[in-house]
Amino acid sequence: MQQFTKIQEMKDYLRPMQSAGQKIGLVPTMGYLHEGHLSLIRRAVQESDIAVVSIFVNPIQFGPSEDLAKYPHNLAKDLELIDKTGAAVVFTPDAVEMYGDNHLTFVHVEKITDILCGPFRPGHFQGVATVVNKLFNIVRPDKAYFGQKDGQQAMVIQKMVRDLNMDVTIITCPTVREADGLAMSSRNTYLNVAERSQAPVLYQVLTAAKDMIQGSITDGVLIKKQIKTMISSKPLANIEYISLVDASSFREISQVSGPVMIALAVKFGATRLIDNIIVEG
């Protein structure tokens, strides 16, 4: 497994292989890897000639009051885990390498960043779109892999790729969960014992909402009311949003009439967790 920290070295390594027709798969991460990340990497290894994993905690997707300074990291362990997957390359730049000292260009995807997490994390998706665009330009992958847990992020990246005519296929992979249903996330490590015991309510309410829809309940207000009631029964939970959006257009809906994404963000103490499922209405 090769590791590169410099953009030009990364390009110089990959370009001859791409010219020879080898297919590249990219898994962008911020490190502190868990089974969710590893499932993406293993799929990239399976579907690509060369699987590339990037580890970069992207500063421009964090707000001033968010957790950039304490975001968990363990590069040595990450490299060990990646090596076991069979990935060929790891790209581990720092912020100076990625942005220099006078970075003035950003990518902004409109409208679909104005809902769900957007109002609570201003600038976040601009930071995500910018860094992913940069990674695509550096690696030039044929396919790039993202998790459904970050469903809005996946939608933003898909829209960016379509609108900017990028030659990369976005693969969105199923959310990987703990045994009790909690979606795997690096931020789960922030939860104390009491918070962790209550956090599985997120998947419980999503499953209950899915059952309601499959039981022919299509009133979005009623569905969200039931979700709110269930989450509010957990004293450490503080709801940021509960939303139903059309899974294709990403428009907020009040009546389920097709595939719908049920998405939510809830804080347990200072830890903000997100989750979602897609239900065929």
Claim to verify: residue 167 and residue 220 sit in the same structural domain: no
Beta partners for 143?
Answer: 25, 169
Position 277 confidence tier, pLDDT thresholds 50, 70, 90: very high
Claim to verify: residue 78 and residue 138 sit in the same structural domain: yes
| Mean pLDDT value across residues 19-26 | 97
- Does some domain include residue 15? yes
Amino acid 274: pLDDT: 98
Claim to verify: residue 33 and residue 132 sit in the same structural domain: yes
Coil, strand or helix at 175: coil
Amino acid 33: pLDDT: 96
| pLDDT tens readout for residues 82-128 | 999 999 999 999 999 999 999 999 999 999 999 999 999 999 999 99
Claim to verify: residue 118 and residue 140 sit in the same structural domain: yes
Among 173, 194, 220, give the residue marking a domain's end.
Answer: 173
Distance CA 160, CA 129 (A): 7
End-to-end Cα, the chain, rounded Å: 44
Report the alpha-carbon angle 140-142-148, nearest 5. 105
- Does some domain include residue 237? yes
Position 69 confidence tier, pLDDT thresholds 50, 70, 90: confident
- Do the Cβ atoms of 266 and 237 come closer than 8 Å? yes
Claim to verify: residue 151 and residue 214 sit in the same structural domain: no
Q: Give the domain CATH number at 229.
A: 3.30.1300.10
Asked if pLDDT for residue 281 goes beyond 80, the answer is no
Amino acid 91: pLDDT: 98
Q: What percent of the chain stands above pLDDT 90? A: 94
Position 2 confidence tier, pLDDT thresholds 50, 70, 90: very high
Amino acid 53: pLDDT: 98
Amino acid 94: pLDDT: 97
Count of domains for the chain? 2
Claim to verify: residue 142 and residue 190 sit in the same structural domain: no
Q: Give the domain CATH number at 6.
A: 3.40.50.620
- Does some domain include residue 24? yes
- Do the Cβ atoms of 280 and 267 come closer than 8 Å? no
- Do the Cβ atoms of 139 and 10 come closer than 8 Å? yes
Amino acid 115: pLDDT: 95
Among 150, 173, 196, give the residue marking a domain's end.
Answer: 173
- Does some domain include residue 217? yes
- Does some domain include residue 129? yes
Claim to verify: residue 32 and residue 64 sit in the same structural domain: yes
- Does some domain include residue 194? yes
Give the residue from 114, 129, 131, 138 showing the smallest Cα distance to 163: 129
Amino acid 245: pLDDT: 95
Claim to verify: residue 117 and residue 66 sit in the same structural domain: yes
- Burial of 104 by CB count in 10 Å (0-12 exposed, 13-18 middle, 19+ buried)? exposed
Q: What is the dihedral of CA 39, 44, 46, 52, to 10 degrees?
A: -120
| Mean pLDDT value across residues 227-249 | 96
Claim to verify: residue 153 and residue 194 sit in the same structural domain: no
Asked if pLDDT for residue 66 goes beyond 90, the answer is no
Of the CA atoms within 13 Å of residue 14, those in its CB half-sphere come to 29
Which residues form the catalytic set? 37
| Mean pLDDT value across residues 12-40 | 97
| Mean pLDDT value across residues 171-179 | 97
Distance CA 15, CA 270 (A): 44
Which pairing describes strands 50-55 and 24-29: parallel, antiparallel, or unpaired? parallel
Claim to verify: residue 114 and residue 144 sit in the same structural domain: yes
Position 1 confidence tier, pLDDT thresholds 50, 70, 90: very high
Residue whose token pair is 């909690």: 182
Among 142, 173, 204, give the residue marking a domain's end.
Answer: 173
Amino acid 136: pLDDT: 98
- Does some domain include residue 231? yes
Amino acid 64: pLDDT: 87
Per the structure, the complete domain to which residue 167 belongs is given by 2-173
Claim to verify: residue 32 and residue 87 sit in the same structural domain: yes
Q: What percent of the chain stands above pLDDT 70? A: 100
Distance CA 23, CA 98 (A): 24
Claim to verify: residue 152 and residue 191 sit in the same structural domain: no
Position 67 confidence tier, pLDDT thresholds 50, 70, 90: confident
- Does some domain include residue 180? no
| Mean pLDDT value across residues 72-85 | 96
